[in-house]
Structure 1
Amino acid sequence: MKSTFKKLLPFAVVGVLSGATTVGVQQYLGSDSNSSDQSYFTKSTNASFVGMNSAAVGDDFVKAAKTTVPAVVTIKNYQSRATSRASEQDLFDFFFGDPFGGRGQQRQRQQQQAPDNMPSGLGSGVIISPDGYIISNNHVVAGANKLEVVLSNKKSYIATLVGTDPNTDISLLKIEEKGLPYLNFANSDNVEVGQWVLAVGNPLGLNSTVTAGIISAKGRGIGILGGQGKATNPIESFIQTDAAINPGNSGGALVNVNGDLIGINSAISSTNGYYQGYGFAVPANLARKIIEDIKKFGIVQRGFLGVTTLDLSNDQMVAAYNKDQKATLKAGSGMFVTGFSENSGAEDGGIKKGDIITKIDTYNITDFADLSAAIGSKRPGDKVQVTYLRNGKENITTVTLKDQKGGTSTRTKADLSVSEKIGAEFDPLNEKFKTDYGLNSGVVAKNVSEGSEMAKIGIVDNYIVIEINGKPVNSQKDVEKILESYKGNVQVKFVDDYGRIYTKGFKMPN
């Protein structure tokens, strides 16, 4: 059964089910397999570069560099199977066109397999505690079956992947060592546009590289995390900088002149895949929240506002909405409420369709990125004050945030459902399909999460799972019954979209 690609609608109503929503695309880009990280890029139509005043370079930069460099590491991602960029490149081209000017087609044809002793990709990371916790990007560690961490002093370790969050592109690793140099998180809410910063990482295979620039903007939503479906509720509110960032910098440090960590370098905007003056970093406050959740709970705790909204700052979206709905909505500032999710905290708090959200607590909401940032750092059960306009009059209400299942309590891995643990949901396979293809059982995989147990054995959306542990499955309940409270190795028999049958396995997560 062939999977189908859903085409981008000419307009979109942005669904803000949490502070974790946006649309866009991710791109894995690098030169050779031993000199590139798994960096994400967007295409920019303006390639201007803001230069740095050399007179500003002084002792402060030297001090910050000396503090930061020892705490920034190289991360080597080893993958045993062939790594192909074809599907990612196709999707990137669909949205933004070929950034290689024709070289992309050549890259798509090159399905290379790195030798076992060579990494498939290189990236950066930042030591955030003396006992070996390291923060990086999710895309730097994605797909790895071994992660090697190399310190600035060339000492090497095999790292454990503690957890990841595709929605913010953050990952947490651990190496077994003590007394390591590390960086402190700064309050990224306090960074100002125009202040000096340093970007430290390992670009293009060049270890311990320091570049300087300024904060160019805050709260940037560039549509980069949700384009391939790996981030189900992406959060984007990047710090933009003109400090040079190139492939290999991903996961590295963005620091202030005191050497405090204000962001994790994640992406660039470029027409050619290399630095053109636009770099983006995950703010430290958001990154710290994600890491704290992973360490304490094993999973990220995400609070949901429970509304679908339209970004009034986007003239094209407003025009498309007016045309589709035969409405006369005016473009401006704020988030226009178009609907609610099930068990919506916002609806419980008295918000109605047609209201315009203008503030969360003391945080002004002018566009989607603002709302993403304001809710993205919250957990289920947190209460927020929502300021909104109704018929031109300002109102304030208190909303209790919920998780996607409507709960208001934090959860641990032990509280996860079977689908959450293995990273997939399942729809029944209709009887006609079973008859046509000679199948006695089967469920269709959907919402397969990146890096999940199901994804690791090669299952993607629309593959058919026939049996689990030798037992036929015909519904979501069948899968849950077989695997609930199960411990040990799981055997999955499935059919890909070419009709080929495989049997593969994984160890059931606790």
Structure 2
Amino acid sequence: MRLPGLPVPRPFPVLSLSAAGVLWAATLWAATALAPVARAEQGAPPAATPGAAATTGPAVTMGTHGVPDSFADLADRLLPAVVNISTTQTLKGGDSDDEDGPEEQGPQIPDFPRGSPFEKFFHDFMNRQNAPNSPPRRMQALGSGFIISADGYIATNNHVIRHADKITVTLQDNTVLPAKLIGHDERTDLAVLKVTSPTPLPFVSFGDSDTARVGNWVLAIGNPFGLSGTVTAGIVSSRSRNIDQGPYDDFIQTDAAINKGNSGGPLFDLNGAVIGVNTAIYSPSGGSVGIGFSIPSNEAKGIIDQLRKTGKVSRGWIGVRIQDVTQDIADGLGLRPAKGALVAGVEPKGPAAKAQLTTGDVIQQLNGKVIEGRALPRLIADLPVGSQARLTVWRKGKDIDVPVTIGALPPSKTDPDEKPARQEAPKSDKAVDLGLLGFRAASITEETRKKFHLSDDQKGVVVTDVTDGGPAADRGMKPGDVVTEVQQTAVNSPAELRKGVETAQKEKRHSVLLLVHDMDGLRWVPFPLDGGAR
């Protein structure tokens, strides 16, 4: 997701918030043509004490109504510690990015009218650039970062330096230093660089992001569109935002102007402490509309410390797939009130499996602290590997305490476990039409395995047809999905599926809960049984 050459932005690849708006990476990368503009006519910054923390100095003067008279003194202190990060990547003709595909490799073709001379010109140009025998091309991009120690360690976003062949850092006084990548973490989009300077560098320190209240003033400093040393002000708009960027989402939302080029830059409180790392924005156009997202400092500083010391990140892990408990899910389980983390799957031989956690358990507390579903992976990740945690689990109407030993999060790509022998469902079972739920289901046979590309060890009942506009379609179910449980009871035939639904109806439940295995894994899907809104 780069912006080389032509300023045609791309949507952030992991987020889709609405049809009218697209989430963009906040800083990704300004065109190199803007770089000279960013440095031209730029006066020398105020002198800073070499090696001094930029968080010391005069406080912001507040007006009679609690509004700052000026941010000038605070900006003077902080600007020397915020840097411009420039990267260079060499692209060969025909190269493709393993993770992002060929579209990440260079400029995109603007949307010219179909059949116009401009469309043909750019199409031919791009074909020549991407030909297998074309000469290597060098792509440059810009982002932001901030110095966190006098000896030259710098924090930034992973996506700012990702795939770079060469990284350079430009200080506020226009000093240019080569940078070395110390470590990076894709899961939280953080990275640490190191530069060597003949003199100690001014730096900033992390603050306590938990003290940042909605409505508090904040400053963002960075290099939007390559315009170095840009200061913008706003407030904390919201906390604990989940933008579906990853399992550890807990973003601070701010209305301080953040644009492409700000990525990796700091978000400051009025004491000059870093309370966030600016990472993404929500925008229909690619420019700021006042909705920016920052990684909280209390999450970032632990990751940054690990990267600085070891170059990698170790996280706690218990081996469960979870989802939030909605009211429909709680109705299906008979749980009151609707809260906690519902276990949708347990990793074989993982810590949770050894602690005898099972699918359908609802984790409600971690070490005595009440938790919500989406917060559990982040909280577990913060626990030391080898330590023991105490889970309070709701299981079929009873609360139980489950001790679990925290394991180490395995790499993203692991060797698959040995597959168990295939167990075919009885072929005599007829397909069932669950009109109330809006889908048809059949036994898993050799024929349905081939038709829907099911694995040899897949168990359950396969969905063969989904009614347009029905409850199943509304819940994202598709032909080829597999129902493995009804009301926490395993099903291996259409007859068992029907019986499970009918049992829930006889018990006069408001909803029935199905465990569905789709392309993304296991998830619990609630279906209303009392005629309620879908």
Report the counterpart of residue 82 of structure 2 in structure 1.
72
Cα distance, 1:235 vs structure 2: 2.3
Cα distance, 1:101 vs structure 2: 10
For the Cα contact (< 8 Å) 1:78–1:120, is it kept in 2?
yes
Pick one of 345, 362, 376 that aligns with 1:371: 376
Pick one of 199, 204, 212 that aligns with 1:191: 212
If you compute each CA radius of gyration, which structure gives the higher value, 1 or 2? 2
Cα distance, 1:360 vs structure 2: 2.6
Report the counterpart of residue 30 of structure 1 in structure 2.
3
Cα distance, 1:399 vs structure 2: 2.6
Cα distance, 1:349 vs structure 2: 3.8
Distance 1:352-1:43 versus aligned 2 partners, 3 A rule: closer
Pick one of 156, 160, 179 that aligns with 1:140: 160
d(CA) in 1 for partners of 2:192, 2:83 = 13
Secondary structure of the 2:383 match is coil
Moved more, 299-308 or 118-127: 118-127
Cα offsets for 1:269-319 (capped at 9, x unmatched): 12222212211111112211112222333321111022111222497xx59
Distance 1:364-1:143 versus aligned 2 partners, 3 A rule: same
For the Cα contact (< 8 Å) 1:35–1:205, is it kept in 2?
no
* TM-score, normalised with respect to structure 1: 0.60
Secondary structure of the 2:408 match is coil
Letter in 2 for 1:346: A
Report the counterpart of residue 422 of structure 2 in structure 1.
none
d(CA) in 1 for partners of 2:67, 2:13 = 29
Superposed counterparts of 1:36-115, under 5 Å: 42-45=15-18, 57-59=67-69, 61-81=71-91, 88=100, 102=111, 110=126
For the Cα contact (< 8 Å) 1:63–1:259, is it kept in 2?
no
Distance 1:287-1:396 versus aligned 2 partners, 3 A rule: same
Letter in 2 for 1:153: D
Cα distance, 1:215 vs structure 2: 1.4
Moved more, 32-41 or 375-384: 32-41
Cα distance, 1:400 vs structure 2: 2.1
For the Cα contact (< 8 Å) 1:349–1:397, is it kept in 2?
yes
Secondary structure of the 1:268 match is strand
RMSD between aligned residues: 4.2
For the Cα contact (< 8 Å) 1:47–1:277, is it kept in 2?
no
Cα offsets for 1:101-135 (capped at 9, x unmatched): 9589989985879x999752110011100100001
Distance 1:311-1:41 versus aligned 2 partners, 3 A rule: closer
* TM-score, normalised with respect to structure 2: 0.58
Moved more, 277-286 or 332-341: 332-341
For the Cα contact (< 8 Å) 1:37–1:121, is it kept in 2?
no
Moved more, 378-387 or 257-266: 378-387
Report the counterpart of residue 259 of structure 2 in structure 1.
246
Report the counterpart of residue 400 of structure 1 in structure 2.
405
For the Cα contact (< 8 Å) 1:265–1:280, is it kept in 2?
yes
Cα distance, 1:35 vs structure 2: 11
d(CA) in 2 for partners of 1:101, 1:37 = 11
d(CA) in 1 for partners of 2:216, 2:109 = 33
For the Cα contact (< 8 Å) 2:4–2:140, is it kept in 1?
no
Report the counterpart of residue 129 of structure 1 in structure 2.
149
Secondary structure of the 1:80 match is strand
Distance 1:354-1:44 versus aligned 2 partners, 3 A rule: closer
Distance 1:387-1:402 versus aligned 2 partners, 3 A rule: same
Letter in 2 for 1:296: K
Q: Which runs of 5 or more structure 2 residues have no equivalent in the other structure?
A: 23-61, 417-534
d(CA) in 2 for partners of 1:246, 1:365 = 33
d(CA) in 2 for partners of 1:117, 1:268 = 29
Letter in 1 for 2:388: K
For the Cα contact (< 8 Å) 1:313–1:367, is it kept in 2?
no
Distance 1:205-1:366 versus aligned 2 partners, 3 A rule: same
Distance 1:81-1:117 versus aligned 2 partners, 3 A rule: closer
Task: Provide the identity percentage.
Answer: 35
For the Cα contact (< 8 Å) 2:251–2:294, is it kept in 1?
yes
For the Cα contact (< 8 Å) 2:144–2:262, is it kept in 1?
yes
Cα distance, 1:375 vs structure 2: 2.1
Q: Which runs of 4+ in 1 moved over 6 A?
A: 33-41, 83-87, 89-92, 103-109, 115-118, 327-331, 423-427
For the Cα contact (< 8 Å) 2:83–2:170, is it kept in 1?
yes
For the Cα contact (< 8 Å) 2:277–2:300, is it kept in 1?
yes
d(CA) in 2 for partners of 1:56, 1:210 = 20
d(CA) in 1 for partners of 2:203, 2:245 = 29
Pick one of 242, 245, 269 that aligns with 1:224: 245
Q: Which runs of 5 or more structure 1 residues have no equivalent in the other structure?
A: 1-27, 93-98, 226-233, 406-419, 428-510
Are residues 1:159 and 2:187 paired?
A: no
Pick one of 271, 276, 294 that aligns with 1:281: 294
For the Cα contact (< 8 Å) 2:91–2:138, is it kept in 1?
no
Letter in 2 for 1:374: L
d(CA) in 2 for partners of 1:39, 1:171 = 19
Are residues 1:211 and 2:211 paired?
A: no
Are residues 1:383 and 2:385 paired?
A: no
Pick one of 267, 283, 300 that aligns with 2:280: 267
Cα distance, 1:39 vs structure 2: 7.2
For the Cα contact (< 8 Å) 1:235–1:372, is it kept in 2?
yes
Letter in 1 for 2:383: K
Give the number of equivalent residue pairs. 357
d(CA) in 2 for partners of 1:253, 1:279 = 12
d(CA) in 2 for partners of 1:37, 1:251 = 18
d(CA) in 2 for partners of 1:61, 1:375 = 39
Cα offsets for 1:48-96 (capped at 9, x unmatched): 9xxxx9976525733432232111111101011158799848999xxxx
Higher relative contact order (CA 8 A, sep 6+): 1
d(CA) in 1 for partners of 2:5, 2:272 = 32
Cα offsets for 1:199-240 (capped at 9, x unmatched): 111001111111111112222221124xxxxxxxx4221111
Cα offsets for 1:454-491 (capped at 9, x unmatched): xxxxxxxxxxxxxxxxxxxxxxxxxxxxxxxxxxxxxx
d(CA) in 2 for partners of 1:403, 1:224 = 22
Distance 1:392-1:67 versus aligned 2 partners, 3 A rule: farther
